[in-house]
Amino acid sequence: MLNHPQLDLVFQALADPTRRDMVERLGRGPASVSELAQPLDMSLPAVLQHLQVLEASGLVSSEKTGRVRMCRIEPKAMETAESWFAKRREIWERRLDRLGEFLVEEENERRKTRRKR
Amino acid sequence: MSRRSTRHDSFTIERRYPVPPARVFDAFADQTKKARWFGCVDGWEVAEHSIDFRVGGREVWRGGPPGGTQHRNDTVYHDIVRDERIVWSYTMQVDDRPISVSLTTLELGPDGAGTRLRFVEQGVYLDDYDGAADRVRGTNDLLDSLDRALREER
């Protein structure tokens, strides 16, 4: 699952704290470029540059509506990094590991009682 | 992020256990035994767990983090071959919202003195429940631990 070439771009994009802030903000819903820039202490061109990196990674898309550029998260991009199925599989992997621990514990308990008899 | 969507996929997990198939089978069939490994996520409270282990029988598991989202699994057993095979289907709900419907096939076989287990799940996963925001949070967690690991290396 981690062999997608786009994943490199995703991690590159998320390696920068400003861009992580922007992604986190967009995780709460779409925002205009000026809304994105507002809490950041930098010029608009600098924000646009970060936006370009995010868009290249496929994490974020933007669209101009009238005079406003609206940005949003692209859920599909993250699917390469972590899908529903990876998560569901993980749940069962953990469960079946715990099952293994339980079976060994149970085996030890049985041995102890057998010795006592 | 309330766009309607469906996703289908399947996955297979294989495990080997150092005890005979009968004991692995019992860990699925017996409620007391199953409770010891099935739902114990750290800090989660189990509100309900009941098993009617027979073909056509149902299992209900409800629980979640205290005061947090409530998870519910509803299972129906379709095929039971003692010590060899269990087939069941289950739905998962989070706060009364169905998030997935799955068909599971569990096969057990002898492996020397132990057991070889094969678990296959096929499912439909609904409405991108996991959501982009959750996934981004997950990635941030990943990057945080990467960061920690790199700092410890120094």
Q: For residue B143, tell me if it sits in a domain.
A: no
- Contact list in B for residue A79 (CB cut-off 8 A) is 135
Strands B6-17, B45-51: pairing kind: unpaired
The A residues from 73 to 102 touching B (CB cutoff 8 Å) are: 73-75, 78-79, 81-85, 87-89, 92-93, 95-96, 98-102
pLDDT score for A86: 60
pTM of the model: 0.61
Residues composing chain B:
154
Which pLDDT tens digits describe chain B residue by residue (154 residues)? 456 778 787 888 999 999 999 999 999 999 999 988 887 666 778 999 999 999 999 999 998 878 877 889 999 999 999 999 999 999 988 888 888 899 999 999 999 999 999 999 998 888 765 544 444 555 555 555 544 544 554 4
Listed residue (A47, A56, A48) closest to A77, CA to CA = A56
Fold of the A5-79 domain: Arc Repressor Mutant, subunit A (1.10.10)
Alpha helices in chain B (DSSP H): 21-29, 31-35, 131-153
What distance in Å separates residue A115's CA from the closest CA in chain B? 18
Q: How far apart are CA A101 and CA A94, in angstroms?
A: 11
Q: For residue B36, tell me if it sits in a domain.
A: yes
A-chain residue closest to B9, CA distance:
A85
What single-letter amino acid sits at A92? Answer: W
- Out of B33, B132, B139, name the one closest to residue A75 (CB): B132
Parts of chain A with a pLDDT under 70:
1-7, 75-86
- The single-letter DSSP state of residue A93 is H
pLDDT score for B99: 85
Q: For residue B142, tell me if it sits in a domain.
A: no
pLDDT score for A81: 43
Q: How far apart are CA B51 and CA B38, in angstroms?
A: 12
Range of the domain at B29: 6-128
- DSSP reduced 3-state for B87: strand
Q: How far apart are CA A58 and CA A36, in angstroms?
A: 17
Are B37 and A95 an interchain contact pair (Cβ–Cβ within 8 Å)? yes
Task: Please state whether A27 falls in left (phi above 0), alpha (psi between -120 and 50) or beta.
Answer: alpha
C-beta separation of B59 from B75 below 8 A: yes
Are A27 and B36 an interchain contact pair (Cβ–Cβ within 8 Å)? no
Interface with B, mutate which of A20, A54, A72, A84 (most B CBs under 10 A) = A84
Are B1 and A75 an interchain contact pair (Cβ–Cβ within 8 Å)? yes
Q: How far apart are CA B62 and CA B74, in angstroms?
A: 9
Domain CATH number, residue B73 = 3.30.530.20
Q: For residue B154, tell me if it sits in a domain.
A: no
pLDDT score for B95: 83
- Contact list in A for residue B15 (CB cut-off 8 A) is 96, 99-100
**Helical (H) or strand (E) element with A49:** helix A44-57
- Domain ranges in chain A are 5-79, 83-117
pLDDT score for A3: 42
Q: For residue B138, tell me if it sits in a domain.
A: no
A-chain residue closest to B17, CA distance:
A100
Spatial strand order of the sheet with B114-126 comes to B6-17, B114-126, B97-111, B85-94, B71-81, B58-64, B45-51
Q: How far apart are CA A28 and CA B103, in angstroms?
A: 33
A61 to A20, A35, B37: CA distances (angstroms):
15, 15, 43
Structurally, chain B folds into a number of domains equal to: 1
Q: For residue B29, tell me if it sits in a domain.
A: yes
C-beta separation of B74 from B96 below 8 A: no
- Contact list in B for residue A85 (CB cut-off 8 A) is 7, 9, 11, 125
Q: For residue B146, tell me if it sits in a domain.
A: no
pLDDT score for B144: 53
Q: How far apart are CA B130 and CA A86, in angstroms?
A: 11
Are B140 and A20 an interchain contact pair (Cβ–Cβ within 8 Å)? yes
Q: For residue B137, tell me if it sits in a domain.
A: no
- Out of B15, B128, B132, name the one closest to residue A27 (CB): B132
Q: What ipTM did this prediction achieve?
A: 0.74
